[in-house]
Structure 1
Amino acid sequence: MTSKKYSEVNFYAILGIEIEADESTIRKAYRKKALECHPDKNPDNPKAAELFHELSKALEILTDKSARTAYDNVWKAKKAAELRNKQLDSKRQKLKADLEKREREFHNNLQSNKTFQTAHKSDEDILQEQIERLRREGSRLLEEEQAMLKEQLQKSLAEHMQQQNTNNSTYRLKIKWKSDKKDPLNGGYSQENILTYLKKYGDIIALVMSKKCGSALVEFKTLESAEMALAYEKGLVENPLHIEWITPPPSDIENQRKTTVTTTDYEDLVMRKLRQAEERKRIIEQLQKEDL
């Protein structure tokens, strides 16, 4: 959008404000719209940059007294002309077109005559001069608003990333057990049997066995699953597991989730453990029979 076309753009409509709006209202509307359509927040929208540029121009022109006066004069004249056009019938439209043609020819003749080069300036010319002035001088207010917008976007992004990091670490647990470096059985634990112990509490995103003996990391899909495993899983009786948070959940989430671990949850867990014990007993008996 070149400066010559600014007179054809309704900056008030772009900002969603009335023509009588004061500077405070204009700045408030700009911040709201700019945050919504900023190119950094809309990387897949090719028109976001163009709209953001129009918003910036709207702020620049409408907060500069001289530029706004020139713009309003042009815009009001256009609206008045549109209203008059609607009231004209076809014959008068033709007469109007002829008249405008003669006016343009007369204006061109004036421009070609050096004596009249400094003659009366149109509203369009005045608006163009004001836009050129803003381009040369820059808009201090626009720079301030865009600096504030950039700071707000960066803060929003940082908060979002921090929240993501918090959420990811909330469901990760560290698992430890006794194991000698020379023990090929790693204290009786492998990735397979640890996974068997833990998956009954809920979906597991990842289970990583540490290169160091007697250590592993697990990430659960939900906070409830992680809390259940932390509270109830002991592993092998002869070599129990010790489970702890990698990063404890925020206190408000932890307090909220504590209320959801009910007696029913515990009873369900006990039943699962009993079924697990029965299954182990059945497998042992079967193995003993096969040995015989």
Structure 2
Amino acid sequence: MASEDVDYYALLGIESTATSGEIRKAYRQKSLKVHPDRNPDDPQAAALFHELSIAVDVLSDPSKRSTFDSLLAARNARKARFAALDNKRKAMAEELERSERESKRAREGERSKKMDVERLKEEGRRLREERARQAQGAEEGRRKVREEEERRRVEEQRANGRTNGAPAEVVELGPLDKTLKVKWLKSAHPSLVDDASVTAFLERTLAPANPDIDSVVLSSKTLANPSKGKHGSGILAFKTLSAAVRVVKGKEADPEGRWKGFEVGWAAGQPPAALGAQAAPSPPPPRQSASPPASAVPSFSFAPASTDEDSILARLRLKEREKLMDEMRRQDEADEGAAQ
């Protein structure tokens, strides 16, 4: 018998239900076409003719044909199983490819979402910076307006003094007249650890009034060890003298005890001379009611300083602050020694 891989029915071109006559007829037709004598140039003709001879011999014998049919059925069943496995493997491969495509789309979506979040964060940061710049510009504009109003008021006071025949009293502000020294118990105010927290404390305590702080300088020990030591201390410079007076008077009044454990004093060691200098009163015009009572801060006027005077005052203010910082450092060391 030939190789088990040969399907004799297919080789003869007949169905598996063919009769003996149909088998012999198919053999005669096929063998005549592939006979080696008729195909001398075909090297496969002899092998094919031999296979046809085996096929007719097997299929013409009922016993051999029955064995071959069983073998052919087993072979076809095996092919069917392999085809099913191939289909299953193909389905698994397709499912794997689909899963990979979905996973890739999910990763791309997550990446796109992260990029959108980062873009939104960047836009938010730019908006915050722009608002901060606008707020800073607005504050600078308000400061200039206040300075211009104060300068105009001073000029008006001086002009009124000359018009009424009595010169207005002119008092120049010293380099530290708008500067205060502060000191606080850390146990009473544990949150005061830096410039921002001190500024926030004044804003809360003086609300709704604006403290108008120009700068805050804390002692080096307060900044280095905010949780150690008994006291914290610093220097507060204000934009106007009235703002500094507002802090002093707020500390003196303190009906609710919000300033408890917080000490305030003038950086120069005494109130500015400008607070004791009243502007020269002008005679009231006839048939007018008396002027309203003066505000809590006495009225006074300032001599406008030239550019050179501003430069000198800036240098004096810097030197005075350095002296105050040295004084605070010595006081911190004394407090620390006393605590030990």
Give the TM-score taking structure 1 as reference length.
Answer: 0.29
Q: Which has the higher helix share?
A: 1
Give the TM-score taking structure 2 as reference length.
Answer: 0.25
User: Considering only CA atoms, is the larger Rg found in Structure 1 or Structure 2?
Assistant: 2
Larger RCO (alpha carbons 8 Å, 6+ apart): 2
